[in-house]
Amino acid sequence: MFRKTLAVALMAASMSGVAEARDQIRIVGSSTVYPFATAVAEQFGKTSGFKTPVVESTGTGGGMKLFCAGADENTPDIVNASRRIEPSEVAACAANGVKDITEVVIGYDGIVIANVKSGPTFALTRAQIYKAAAKVVPADGKLVPNPYKKWNQIDPSLPNEDIILYVPAPNHGTRDAFNELVMDPSCATFPEIKALEKPAAKAACETAREDGAFIDVTENYTVTLQKMVSQPQAVGITTFSYLDQNGDKIKAATIDGIVPTYDNIASGKYPISRPLFFYVKKAHVDVIPGIKQYIAEFTSEKAWGKNGYLAEKGLIALPDAERKTQAANAKALDELKL
């Protein structure tokens, strides 16, 4: 039966010119979603009769470029994302023949400001993080090069330690979310920023300092952890799910007085949390064996439910009603609407 199905798929592929059948699902994208997708892929491979999907951690932006490069068999079937797909990416997809996409929200995660357990304890506000990270900051009615070298220069209540920030590079969706949830809203409160035109304000808010205090990490969070271990005074931007898996090594700062916990993120109380996604290339669904079944596994209660195996990996479950809606959307392969 499988051979017959595969033969039909191959014939359909050759006729449509969309994709030629592979016998293994290919998934790329977010390093935040990577451990969740990997856990689902491994469970799927053990129980479904299909091959275990290949999951690559490329960062959200890098994954979108690969996903949107075309609809042929050499392009991925699914892209994971730690922020929503951007209109420019949808346009790039369409320009390359990828016009039917399904979006699935899988749960929530919090952005965590962490350091090693032996390091100082941080209680931060988003405004303080902005002042530590930005290239220019407001002072006496104008924007000046960031003068802060130590945390206690920003606020005397903060540790007397050099500012060393390890932050996901721009190819990561976490960087986009960090800008959106921390840098932009904190920066926008200052009169010096309000006086600027929107493009200039955005640049002033999101441009990171270049004096060695802010270090881009292009790799995954394990590299950030290694940097923090070697520099106990350093602070790293990571995720709640990574903190959950490495709580014996790192601790989280409070943000605006709120501790990043499962309940605080799920309720929206924790101020820097965001939804997580994956996107499916519908042209591949009836061609690459197992995509529908993989989606069904991911959106099953045993996986993404409050007590599912992804909760053990740190995924914050969607509310019950939203999980039902997203599962139905995933099963129907509803078309993306921005």
Residue spans of the domains in the chain: they are 2-109+274-332, 110-273
2-109+274-332 folds as: D-Maltodextrin-Binding Protein; domain 2 (3.40.190)
Q: Is the pLDDT of residue 20 over 50?
A: no
pLDDT band of residue 21 (cuts 50, 70, 90) is low
Using N-to-C axis directions, what is the helix angle for 291-298 and 34-47, rounded to 10°?
120
Residue range 221-280, pLDDT digits in tens: 999 999 999 999 999 999 999 999 999 999 999 999 999 999 999 988 999 999 999 999
Q: Find residue 137's DSSP bridge partners.
A: 144
**Dihedral sign for Cα atoms in the order 208, 210, 213, 217:** positive
What token pair was written down for 148?
A: 């802060």
**What's residue 11's pLDDT?**
45
Nearest to 279 by CA among 7, 20, 33, 24: 33
Tell me the C-alpha distance between 37 and 42, whole Å.
Answer: 9
The position carrying tokens 């960062």 is 59
Q: Is 183 exposed, middle or buried (0-12, 13-18, 19+ CB in 10 A)?
A: buried
Tell me the C-alpha distance between 240 and 317, whole Å.
Answer: 13
110-273 folds as: D-Maltodextrin-Binding Protein; domain 2 (3.40.190)
What token pair was written down for 5?
A: 């199905």
**Dihedral sign for Cα atoms in the order 158, 174, 310, 258:** positive
Nearest to 229 by CA among 114, 113, 112, 116: 116
What would the DSSP string read from start to end of 179-246?
IIIIIHHHHTTSHHHHTS-HHHHHHHHHPBP-SSSEEEE-S-HHHHHHHHHH-TT-EEEEEHHHHHHS
Tell me the C-alpha distance between 131 and 193, whole Å.
Answer: 13
Number of neighbours of residue 165 by Cβ within 10 angstroms? 19
Q: How far is CA 14 from the centre of its chain?
A: 35
Q: Find residue 252's DSSP bridge partners.
A: 114
pLDDT band of residue 338 (cuts 50, 70, 90) is confident
Nearest to 143 by CA among 211, 50, 64, 207: 207
Query: Radius of gyration (Cα) for the chain, nearest Å?
Result: 21
Checking DSSP bridges between strand 254-255 and strand 123-124, what pairing results, if any? parallel
The position carrying tokens 């200052």 is 190
Distances (CA, A) of 135 to 20, 234, 267: 48, 18, 33
Residue range 34-87, pLDDT digits in tens: 999 999 999 999 999 999 999 999 999 999 999 999 999 999 999 999 999 999
Region 124-147 average pLDDT: 96
What token pair was written down for 109?
A: 């995660």
Q: Are 232 and 119 in contact (CB under 8 A)?
A: yes
Distances (CA, A) of 307 to 99, 104, 249, 312, 317: 35, 20, 25, 8, 9
Region 285-313 average pLDDT: 96
Q: What percent of the chain is modeled with pLDDT above 90?
A: 91
- The amino acid sitting at 194 is K
Region 14-22 average pLDDT: 50
Round the average pLDDT of the chain to a whole number and report it.
92
**What's residue 1's pLDDT?**
42
| Residue count (the chain) | 338
